[in-house]
A and B are shown apart, each in its own frame.
Chain A
Amino acid sequence: NAGVTQTPKFRVLKTGQSMTLLCAQDMNHEYMYWYRQDPGMGLRLIHYSVGEGTTAKGEVPDGYNVSRLKKQNFLLGLESAAPSQTSVYFCASRRTGAPETQYFGPGTRLLVL
């Protein structure tokens, strides 16, 4: 049982390039989340999904798109990367109902030059 995994672990992009971050979970969780973590700030929610085929915006969605084509996978896309998107990205998942504990992946460190 791997829990939540993220691919890649680290990536360097040039401004304007695109990429997709992959999150996978093997816990059969309905809900999945993408957060970003920046120095001096708490984790901030980018987008989330309450089930296969559904997505919703979080606190900081601009510049990102997401897709949940399969229950176990949640993809985060950057269409045209900007230096302001340099951050560490965390994926999390949880089951429906209480407790609402979210389980996090190991993170993807992204540097946009």
Chain B
Amino acid sequence: EDQVTQSPEALRLQEGESSSLNCSYTVSGLRGLFWYRQDPGKGPEFLFTLYSAGEEKEKERLKATLTKKESFLHITAPKPEDSATYLCASASGGGADGLTFGKGTHLIIQP
């Protein structure tokens, strides 16, 4: 059974204080590792897809990386508007079934 574990559950940072969120996964036949952002009362918003170990993707202050066991979401010099819950998910196997999600990391950036 696929498992996705995110840490920490919650993280409070000062504006400008860089940090990383962790996503460890145990899946058979990884087809993709996904990062989403979710604001309160909203649906998940797509950020990145990573396919193979060593791959990196960047968007503004966010950078996602992938190893064979983990993915990291690095946040550089965050701003209060980066406050949200960040979700990690995996797609595995050979079928068209859905993503396996972690429980998320609730990130708060204080001014």
Contacts and interface: CB of A to CB of B under 8 A. Distances in A.
Nearest to A43: B101
B103 A100 contact: no
Contacts of B91: 100
- The secondary structure that dominates the A interface is loop
A48 B98 contact: yes
A74 interface: no
Interface stretch (A13-21, A77-85, A104-112): A104-112
Interface in A44-74: 44-45, 48, 50, 56, 58-59
B49 interface: yes
A35 B44 CA distance: 11
A56 B43 contact: no
Given A101-B34, A107-B43, A41 B98 contact: no
Contact of B98 (A35, A98, A101): A35
A50 B95 CA distance: 10
A56 B103 CA distance: 24
Nearest to A106: B43
8 contacts: A31-B96, A42-B4, A42-B87, A43-B44, A98-B32, A99-B32, A104-B43, A104-B44
A35 B99 CA distance: 10
Q: Interface residues of A toward B: which range?
A: 20 to 34
B14 to A, nearest CB: 27
Most buried by A among B41, B42, B46, B98: B98
Interface in B26-64: 31-32, 34, 36, 41-46, 49, 51
A99 B49 contact: yes
Interface in A24-41: 31, 33, 35, 40-41
Interface string B68-111: 00000000000000000001010100001111111110000000
Given A42-B103, A100-B32, A100-B91, A58 B97 contact: yes
A105 B32 CA distance: 21
